[in-house]
Amino acid sequence: MTLTKRDLVIRISEETELIQQQVLTVVQKTLDYIAEALAKGDKVELRNFGVFEVKVRKARIGRNPNAPATDVPIPERSVVKFKPGKEMRGEVIKIPPPKPPQPIQPAT
């Protein structure tokens, strides 16, 4: 299941009895401020949730899968990394790993 922004707004609205539009405004402003801080290269630390930070990936040489003999230069670039907080890690680690798919048996 995927939790969307809309799902968050509905759940928060029901729990707080606030109007959905008000909740949407607060949620969107929160996300906007996080994105703005990251765009400036700042670290965003949300206690008991996690840390977002911008890391720079080094330039490297990749391969074109359609022409493996061809080297493709991949330039240096910035990416957002997320490190979950202690509480979140503790909850996520409790999730059992998915079962591997069963091999298809040939028809006899």
Residue 26 maps to a domain: yes
The verdict on 36 and 56 lying in the same domain is no
pLDDT category at 4 given cuts 50, 70, 90 is: very high
Contact, 80 vs 57, CB < 8 A? no
* Residue 12 domain boundaries: 1-42
The verdict on 30 and 60 lying in the same domain is no
pLDDT of 107: 67
Per-residue pLDDT of 29-57, as tens digits, reads 999 999 999 999 999 999 989 999 999 99
pLDDT higher than 70, residue 108: no
Burial of 34 per CB tally in 10 Å (0-12, 13-18, 19+): middle
CA 108: distance to chain centroid?
A: 45
The verdict on 58 and 34 lying in the same domain is no
pLDDT higher than 80, residue 102: no
Query: How many structural domains does the chain have?
Result: 2
Per-residue pLDDT of 61-75, as tens digits, reads 998 888 888 888 999
The verdict on 4 and 37 lying in the same domain is yes
Beta bridge partners of 71: 63
The verdict on 1 and 35 lying in the same domain is yes
> What is the pTM for the complete model shown?
0.75
Give, as one character, the DSSP assignment of residue 95.
S
